[in-house]
Chain A
Amino acid sequence: GIQVEQSPPDLILQEGANSTLRCNFSDSVNNLQWFHQNPWGQLINLFYIPSGTKQNGRLSATTVATERYSLLYISSSQTTDSGVYFCAKASGGSYIPTFGRGTSLIVHP
């Protein structure tokens, strides 16, 4: 079955809007990361967050491991936030992450 499910698959925003991206996973987590893949294909680390909440500027993330989900918040979005956001998690004794299919974000000026 699907181990990592991301929603929504696509999101279009006006610059300045806020958004929440969700990552649901089907079992326990020992390693969870959020990445941003920019339009040039580069994968950029956003958060390493197997549990708890972290903030970095306009971005923040929360993982609730007991309820098997993680959220990525983007506030005051900018056109440079466009791209695909991936959630990747590992579980059990393996630290090999499984990636979700991503959320494709377009921010219009």
Chain B
Amino acid sequence: DTGVSQNPRHKITKRGQNVTFRCDPISEHNRLYWYRQTLGQGPEFLTYFQNEAQLEKSRLLSDRFSAERPKGSFSTLEIQRTEQGDSAMYLCASSRTSGGGTDTQYFGPGTRLTVL
């Protein structure tokens, strides 16, 4: 396994611009998760996919946020009309269905977004 990869690692944008992040999960992991982490806090759940289906979305995921996972492989998270409050680390994790109970999630290095 090469681990979860995320690109870009850093993104600086101006308020009002759109940004898109990509996550490549560990191969054969069917579940993929997005979290947001602000400084000094634990990661907060945004959304998750099982294969290509988006099964759960947090209330944190406003209308400006959209996530996709075409063909059940990589995923993208897009933020439209960015606001300064969107500045955070965006983490992606993946897991493989274990057949019972909750899976172990493996995290990527994150994409740090700074909105000026």
Partners in one complex: no
Residues of chain A having any CB pair with chain B under 8 Å: none
Residues of chain B having any CB pair with chain A under 8 Å: none
